Structure 1
């Protein structure tokens, strides 16, 4: 492992487990996890699905719009390696979704993944002892075998994120695991609405008309540059207390 990659791994683990900071943001942490997976592992994209206390699944974060939509599709059809992983609590690795076994087992998911541009899906459980709170999905655009090293690192990252989320709840005492996870899911809804607000106003800014991915980059960059929590900025855009042109970079 190179010194640069080793430093990235250490930084990622610290961020995932440092729940004592006052501005801990579950959505930001999960988004960071998805993005870091594409940097640290040999994968094209990543997504995270969380389960609530009643077993319902929702997409919490993704590294790109394409991977987010595929995760939404998997939840909608209640099928695919990621759904099987969170239901069973064990890794489900599929090297080629066009293979005979995958076609027989996940035919609808395989078609959706192919349309989204993905050929391989590797699902790693987010689990603390017997409690499975979600799944980290690793995607690749071509047939792909997850190496033993990448599988171990990916699982370790998923475990660290799980511990971080659960421990944050324990530190604050006022929240339960279900409330913490539901908060992340609710935040995702607000962020998706804020992305829509930015996209609708993008013609007012210096950029060409932007899509969901570009809107999220602007949203997150503005929040970090101004020391704001991502969800607070998103909520401000949705309730119109924040002018979208300030996020789009329009001069006064």
Structure 2
């Protein structure tokens, strides 16, 4: 067995363990930042890179999360985000795998004139980038940074892409769930407001000897004149905290 084959055989259990870790949000409540940090840690362990960084680029092209395997790399990614340049930024804008690129060459300085010197200062000599994707949806990018001249091979880049894709699925699922929770909360709030208003209408209708529609118009006018929300007026009606004029019976 060759050294390369032996290394790949040893990596398989670790790769499987990484996939299980990254898929955890599919079956339990794990936050997106935790998923992203777990991804960077596994990349460092499995791919023999010095560091890994992530930009989460959703929704609508707005970066909502930055993660990294260590604080220095996270600061580097934030620096690139602030300057709007760097390998992750490029990968988010044109989602395709960027084969490993040397940072100590003129091409890197021309491509990322401010990001590259900062990366070199931290001791990084090369970077490769893969998108976080689920089918046609790209949610961010993963950068893999080396501090020595030993580029990633195709098998390692494929593994990096597989891990990134697993994390992307979990990120999208969490976003969908959060959207559903928000929608449910909004519907619940609307229902509670409607119940409150109906209760106040009934109270006014009985106390003023008018129809429910007339009571509603009176509440709405009262709210507009005082720049209050209708639900706040309804709550005041039920608590007896409104002006007497609103409670006066019809004449």
The one of 28, 33, 51 aligned to 2:39: 33
Q: Secondary structure at the match of 2:180?
A: coil
1:67-120 deviation digits (Å, cap 9, x = unpaired)? 111111110111122111110011123431111221221221111101222111
Checking the alignment, whether the CA contact within 8 Å between 1:86 and 1:135 is kept in structure 2 is yes
1:213-249 deviation digits (Å, cap 9, x = unpaired)? xxxxxxxxxxxxxxxxxxxxxxxxxxxxxxxxxxxxx
Checking the alignment, whether the CA contact within 8 Å between 1:44 and 1:141 is kept in structure 2 is yes
Instruction: Determine whether 1:91 maps to 2:103.
Output: no
What corresponds to 2:172 in structure 1?
A: 166
1:25-48 deviation digits (Å, cap 9, x = unpaired)? 222121111011000002100011
Runs of 5+ consecutive residues of structure 1 not aligned to the other structure = 177-252
- Identify the structure with bigger relative contact order (alpha carbons < 8 Å, sequence gap 6+): 1
Q: Which has the larger radius of gyration?
A: 2
| Superposition RMSD in Å | 2.1
What corresponds to 1:157 in structure 2?
A: 163
Checking the alignment, whether the CA contact within 8 Å between 2:26 and 2:173 is kept in structure 1 is no
What corresponds to 1:64 in structure 2?
A: 70
Q: How many residues align?
A: 176
Distance (whole Å) between structure 2 residues aligned to residue 22 and residue 168 of structure 1: 10
1:106/1:42 Cα in 2 relative to 1: closer, same or farther (>3 Å)? same
Instruction: Determine whether 1:131 maps to 2:131.
Output: no
What is the TM-score with the length of structure 1 in the denominator? 0.64
Distance (whole Å) between structure 1 residues aligned to residue 65 and residue 125 of structure 2: 20
What corresponds to 1:22 in structure 2?
A: 28
Checking the alignment, whether the CA contact within 8 Å between 1:37 and 1:46 is kept in structure 2 is yes
Runs of 5+ consecutive residues of structure 2 not aligned to the other structure = 1-6, 183-251
